[in-house]
């Protein structure tokens, strides 16, 4: 039985690890990904504060898969034909019995569509974090506007960057201002169904000197200002944006993508609705909740593995619900937001500098195991 996994991120590697553990020699697993160097991107904000070095964020995917007994092909996926069950890559064509789409989201493509994006950073890839670090260090006065484009499914990185830039201004005693644009009218973490949490989070950010623009998003960048969806113009000499998300363009023309731009799947299996032998997980797929996170991608990967273990060998393994754990590291300020739905929604927000250390420890574990994390603190489905 051949399982082909496209993408060696949090989701793809979770499937590769778990499925091998569940099915051993009964299965041939091949992972195809652009580069054997895999980055643990959730910790990138800590590079800005010198709490983490770049080399601590990366591992060798090929080596990790070789040790596991799986194949890793360092190649670019060029075309996916779900009808003929063929995947064309820069290193040849692959067929499969089961296919797992785990290529992440088209962040860069969507960022490049934002009017005036050349005047802004995108706090997503390592390359931009390194440029942000250099830029901030060179500025004597920082007038920062940070936020998301309309419909962007994850705001945690924006919150962290806002806190870090504010911290940088205070630490260096330079002039500056930080404006954080949040999509929800309730403000920080405002998309969650408990208003008391966002009220507390808003207070935390405001007490730390961050100005909040609520219920809005950044839609255009000019040389010295940003323009928001509500028509507000905010002066700036530093802008960073997370764009909206959708499947990477190579999958856009397939029949499995819905009108929101994500692959349509069934829950809890993450099997695509149109193709029984195709699964889709992580940033490119619909989720049980709107937020697209690494934890969400790994939980989806667990569910795919459990579904296939049952289908191929009759082995019963657990299925989980997706939620959010956002450990945020903002320089001097850190905390953890948790949202999970069991019988009813549970939300908590803890603020304590210890979460910076815990976030770094968790990141080290992700890197050391090659994204093989057995426990996601997620409720059973
Ligand atoms: C700064 C930052 C902080 C974050 N913080 C958190 C956090 O605290 N907690 C959390 O849960 N989430 C966080 N996230 C979100 C999280 O990183 C993403 O949701 C996660 O990366 C999605 O995982 P994935 O497996 O879907 O895709 P990815 O991790 O993006 O992996 C996709 C893989 O596919 C490969 N690939 C893509 N296209 C091709 C192609 N054509 N051919 C071959 N290979 C290809 C890529 O190289 C990559 O290896 C953060 C994100 C950022 C940017």
* Residue 52 placed within a domain: yes
Q: What is the mean pLDDT of residues 62-84?
A: 97
Q: How many CB atoms lie within 10 A of CB 175?
A: 11
Question: Given a cut of 90, is residue 359 above it in pLDDT?
Answer: yes
Q: Mean pLDDT of all residues in the chain?
A: 97
* Residue 347 placed within a domain: no
Q: How many CB atoms lie within 10 A of CB 38?
A: 25
pLDDT in tens, 143-177: 999 999 999 999 999 999 999 999 999 999 999 99
151 and 85, same domain (yes or no)? no
Half-sphere exposure for 297 (CA within 13 Å, toward CB)? 24
Helix, strand, or coil (residue 48): helix
Q: Dig out the tokens for 281 from the structure.
A: 């997980």
Question: Given a cut of 90, is residue 342 above it in pLDDT?
Answer: no
Helix, strand, or coil (residue 292): coil
* Chain centre distance of CA 222: 27
Q: What is the mean pLDDT of residues 215-234?
A: 98
76 and 145, same domain (yes or no)? no
Q: Which of 154, 9, 152 is nearest to 77 (CA)?
A: 9
Q: For the residues of 199-218, what is the DSSP string, one character each? A: HHHHHHHHHTTEEEEES--E
**How far is it, in rounded angstroms, from Cα 319 to Cα 374?**
13
% residues pLDDT > 70 (the chain) = 100
* Residue 269 placed within a domain: yes
**How far is it, in rounded angstroms, from Cα 368 to Cα 295?**
17
112 and 100, same domain (yes or no)? no
pLDDT in tens, 10-52: 999 999 999 999 999 989 999 999 999 999 999 999 999 999 9
Question: Given a cut of 90, is residue 193 above it in pLDDT?
Answer: no
Q: What share of the chain is helix, strand, coil (3-state, %, to 5)?
A: 35, 30, 35
* Residue 354 placed within a domain: no
pLDDT in tens, 56-65: 999 999 999 9
Question: Given a cut of 90, is residue 121 above it in pLDDT?
Answer: yes
- Identify the domain boundary among 214, 245, 276: 245
Q: How many CB atoms lie within 10 A of CB 184?
A: 15
Q: Dig out the tokens for 59 from the structure.
A: 């591992």
Band (343; pLDDT cuts 50, 70, 90): confident
113 and 241, same domain (yes or no)? yes
- Identify the domain boundary among 245, 271, 296: 245
Ligand 1 atom 38, closest CA: 103
Task: Name 240's bridge partners.
Answer: 121, 146
pLDDT at position 26, please? 87
**How far is it, in rounded angstroms, from Cα 263 to Cα 255?**
9
Band (330; pLDDT cuts 50, 70, 90): very high
How many angstroms does the Cα of residue 282 sit away from the middle of ligand 1?
Answer: 8
42 and 141, same domain (yes or no)? no
44 and 149, same domain (yes or no)? no
* Residue 299 placed within a domain: yes
- Identify the domain boundary among 245, 269, 297: 245
Task: Name 347's bridge partners.
Answer: 339
* Residue 351 placed within a domain: no
* Residue 228 placed within a domain: yes
CATH number for the domain spanning 187: value is 3.50.50.60
39 and 132, same domain (yes or no)? no
DSSP structure class, residue 320: B
Ligand 1 atom 2, closest CA: 42
Note whether 165 and 146 are within 8 A (CB).
Answer: yes
- Residue 206's φ and ψ, nearest 5 degrees, are -70, -40
162 and 260, same domain (yes or no)? no
133 and 219, same domain (yes or no)? yes
8 and 134, same domain (yes or no)? no
DSSP structure class, residue 121: B
Band (288; pLDDT cuts 50, 70, 90): very high
Residue scoring higher pLDDT (345 or 53):
53
Question: Given a cut of 90, is residue 254 above it in pLDDT?
Answer: no
How many angstroms does the Cα of residue 98 sit away from the middle of ligand 1?
Answer: 22
* Residue 11 placed within a domain: yes
Q: Residue 159's domain spans which residues?
A: 108-245
Question: Given a cut of 90, is residue 118 above it in pLDDT?
Answer: yes
**How far is it, in rounded angstroms, from Cα 337 to Cα 348?**
6
Note whether 307 and 269 are within 8 A (CB).
Answer: yes
Ligand 1 atom 30, closest CA: 104
265 and 276, same domain (yes or no)? yes
Note whether 37 and 60 are within 8 A (CB).
Answer: yes
Task: Name 353's bridge partners.
Answer: none
Looking at the structure of the chain, the number of domains it has is: 2
DSSP structure class, residue 19: H
How many angstroms does the Cα of residue 10 sit away from the middle of ligand 1?
Answer: 7
**How far is it, in rounded angstroms, from Cα 257 to Cα 272?**
10
164 and 194, same domain (yes or no)? yes
Residues with CB under 6 A from ligand 1: 7-12, 32-35, 38, 41-42, 44-45, 76-77, 102-104, 123-124, 154, 156-157, 248, 250, 282-283, 292-295, 297, 326-327
Half-sphere exposure for 66 (CA within 13 Å, toward CB)? 7
């Amino acid at each position: 039985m051949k399982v082909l996994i496209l993408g060696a991120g949090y989701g793809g590697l979770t499937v590769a690890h778990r499925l091998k553990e569940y099915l051993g020699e009964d299965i041939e697993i091949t992972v195809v990904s652009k580069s054997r160097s895999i980055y643990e991107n959730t910790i990138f904000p800590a590079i800005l504060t010198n709490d983490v070095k770049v080399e601590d964020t990366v591992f060798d995917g090929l080596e990790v898969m070789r040790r596991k007994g799986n194949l890793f092909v360092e190649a670019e996926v060029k075309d996916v034909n779900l009808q003929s069950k063929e995947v064309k890559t820069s290193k040849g064509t692959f067929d499969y019995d089961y296919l797992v789409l785990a290529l992440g989201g088209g962040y860069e493509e969507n960022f490049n569509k934002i009017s005036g994006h050349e005047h802004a950073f995108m706090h997503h890839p390592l390359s931009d974090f390194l440029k942000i670090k250099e830029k901030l260090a060179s500025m004597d006065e920082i007038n920062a506007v940070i936020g998301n484009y309309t419909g962007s499914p994850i705001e945690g990185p924006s919150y962290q960057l806002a806190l870090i830039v504010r911290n940088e201004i205070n630490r260096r005693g330079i002039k500056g201002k930080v404006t954080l644009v949040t999509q929800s009218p309730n403000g920080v973490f405002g998309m969650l169904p408990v208003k008391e949490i966002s009220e507390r989070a808003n207070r935390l950010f405001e007490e730390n000197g961050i100005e909040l623009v609520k219920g809005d998003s950044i839609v255009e960048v000019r040389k010295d200002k940003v323009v928001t969806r509500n028509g507000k113009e905010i002066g700036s000499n530093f802008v960073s944006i997370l764009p909206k998300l959708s499947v990477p363009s190579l999958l856009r023309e397939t029949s499995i993508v819905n009108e929101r731009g994500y692959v349509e799947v069934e829950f809890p299996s993450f099997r695509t609705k149109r193709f029984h032998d195709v699964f889709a997980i992580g940033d490119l797929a619909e989720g049980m909740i709107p937020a697209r996170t690494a934890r969400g991608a790994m939980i989806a990967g667990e569910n795919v593995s459990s579904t296939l273990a049952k289908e191929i060998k009759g082995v019963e393994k657990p299925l989980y619900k997706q939620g959010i754990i956002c450990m945020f590291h903002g320089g001097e300020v850190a905390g953890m937001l948790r949202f999970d739905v069991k019988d009813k929604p549970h939300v908590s927000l803890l603020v304590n500098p210890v979460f910076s250390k815990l976030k770094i420890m968790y990141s080290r574990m992700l890197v050391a195991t090659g994204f093989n994390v057995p426990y996601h603190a997620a409720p059973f489905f």
